Structure 1
């Protein structure tokens, strides 16, 4: 999608909207004429409760993003209330490496067979994206998914090693929209250090560990405006990764750097993937999406 997509009169769902960046974007979307903004989170902060209480087009729906049924329920609530699925899906829920789930302390028993923070930071946006695709295909309508993930995900970090390795799964989602550019699109918003609870008091211990100061951080409102710009502006086509930090914004190219041997966007003859291989690999995917198309219309 590379045309304007206004928030006006749209249905918006925001995971992790109970505080920080998610709350700032939810408030911004509501103020810019969204038909309804549904905040999906485990609970609301005191600030969020006050905002929801006085904003008619802002509502709260309990959502634990590690429970896929909760994410689907955000869509179901919209169908029940409006007879339609959301237009804009913002996956903003995320944590650092909290005491209950992290690499170095390794508190989770072997029987867990997984990290809770990976369920939140990786599995959640992947599944949320798939649910959004199914809903939009089912209603045969245009829509946008915005995935919010720290800029740290594109770097290495000895302090937060697993967080720094979580970028590839959601970066891979940028490509799934290419087969249906006319109906839906995704954006990835990568903020740097932001003065939100995740950096300060919200994740137990993180404030003491990092000692974040205003001189090197940006506000949630700055990131919220970037999310809105990424969603609405025709400047950012589907699959865009938009970085925002103290230094401003920039688009991160697909390969981060130009791939070896590429010249003017083309690979040397004989090294590119043959067209017939691409077509063949897409056939089962197209079959799945065609089965889902119009099912909810």
Structure 2
């Protein structure tokens, strides 16, 4: 059955990319909201993030492009919070712009794929699978939130690879709507517009900021995005079921681009039979995983 109301209070939370920016703002907000604990998974911590590390906030050095690192996250949760513990909320927040050393435009890294695709698209998908397997194994509901972008709805000639990665995860999120109904795993995505983060304001972002005419006055804060993340996770009114794409921007504070509640169809017996036939291979896999550790 659908996850429904899911307060941050007393939850265990995993956040990739939580060492800075939007996801660090969410870590702070989660702790202020009474979360039981947070595991930050990132390559490094900013000084601001380091100040949070303690009994309730832990750090795992994690390269999200490396699936072995991602697969280790559930074990790290147990090491930090106790044997048998499984995270309730999973935030796939790590993302990058297209680096020149692995670029479609500059025709680099012809072997092995594009790094931005591995970080921005493959990591959230693999992370979601790990989250579902973990929570199904102990028969508990969960929420997976993917930090996408407004670029996942629109295109950009100067940022074609980045837009492609974000289109991938918005499509994936929509496709996972049924998991909320079938498996009590709500997969949703936040699509921020321009946000004031070190991506633009830090030393490495100055060139890009100049190219795209970044202006602080046209941006929203990382804290505003974090508030929207909390809203879509907790959702006490049923406005954001699995599959929801929630836009957050300066011009439009909240905009639901899509909010699917699975495949509804016409309600006929014939449709139900078709749906069951199509979904059965997926449901069979999840049935085998449910309660596997109980």
Report if aligned partners of 2:16, 2:91 keep a CA contact under 8 Å in 1: yes
Offset of 1:35 from its aligned partner?
Answer: 0.8
Distance 2:104 2:156 in 1: 12
Q: Deviations over 1:80-111 (max 9, x none)?
A: 33221100000000011222223222332x22
Q: Provide closer, same or farther for how the CA distance between residues 222 and 285 of structure 1 changes in structure 2, counting only shifts above 3 A.
A: same
* Number of the residue aligned with 1:252: 257
Please show how residues 49-68 of structure 1 align to structure 2 within 5 Å.
Answer: 49-52=50-53, 56-68=55-67
Unpaired stretches in structure 1, ≥5 consecutive residues: 256-264
Distance 2:70 2:265 in 1: 40
Q: Provide closer, same or farther for how the CA distance between residues 283 and 8 of structure 1 changes in structure 2, counting only shifts above 3 A.
A: same
* Number of the residue aligned with 1:191: 192
SS at match of 1:199: helix
Report if aligned partners of 1:95, 1:203 keep a CA contact under 8 Å in 2: no
* Number of the residue aligned with 2:16: 15
* Number of the residue aligned with 2:76: 77
Tell me if 1:175 matches 2:175. yes
Distance 1:138 1:292 in 2: 6
Q: Provide closer, same or farther for how the CA distance between residues 295 and 103 of structure 1 changes in structure 2, counting only shifts above 3 A.
A: same
Distance 2:201 2:102 in 1: 17
Distance 2:136 2:119 in 1: 25
Q: Provide closer, same or farther for how the CA distance between residues 56 and 31 of structure 1 changes in structure 2, counting only shifts above 3 A.
A: farther
Please show how residues 177-256 of structure 1 align to structure 2 within 5 Å.
Answer: 177-181=177-181, 183-201=184-202, 205-234=207-236, 235-247=239-251, 248-253=253-258
Unpaired stretches in structure 2, ≥5 consecutive residues: none
Distance 1:118 1:199 in 2: 20
Q: Residue 278 of structure 2: which of 270, 277, 281 is its match? A: 281
SS at match of 1:207: helix
Q: Provide closer, same or farther for how the CA distance between residues 179 and 98 of structure 1 changes in structure 2, counting only shifts above 3 A.
A: closer
Offset of 1:177 from its aligned partner?
Answer: 4.4
* Number of the residue aligned with 2:90: 89
Distance 2:103 2:226 in 1: 27
Q: Deviations over 1:122-166 (max 9, x none)?
A: 000000011111011101001100000111121110110111222
Report if aligned partners of 1:103, 1:160 keep a CA contact under 8 Å in 2: no
Offset of 1:229 from its aligned partner?
Answer: 0.5
Tell me if 1:27 matches 2:28. yes
Distance 1:244 1:290 in 2: 36
Distance 1:162 1:153 in 2: 11
Q: Provide closer, same or farther for how the CA distance between residues 203 and 238 of structure 1 changes in structure 2, counting only shifts above 3 A.
A: farther
Report if aligned partners of 1:96, 1:203 keep a CA contact under 8 Å in 2: no
1 or 2, which has the higher helix percentage? Answer: 2
Offset of 1:245 from its aligned partner?
Answer: 0.3
SS at match of 1:59: strand
SS at match of 1:85: coil
Distance 1:144 1:202 in 2: 34
Cα RMSD of the aligned pairs, angstroms, is 2.2
Offset of 1:274 from its aligned partner?
Answer: 4.4
Distance 1:37 1:149 in 2: 21
* Number of the residue aligned with 1:296: 293
Offset of 1:180 from its aligned partner?
Answer: 4.8
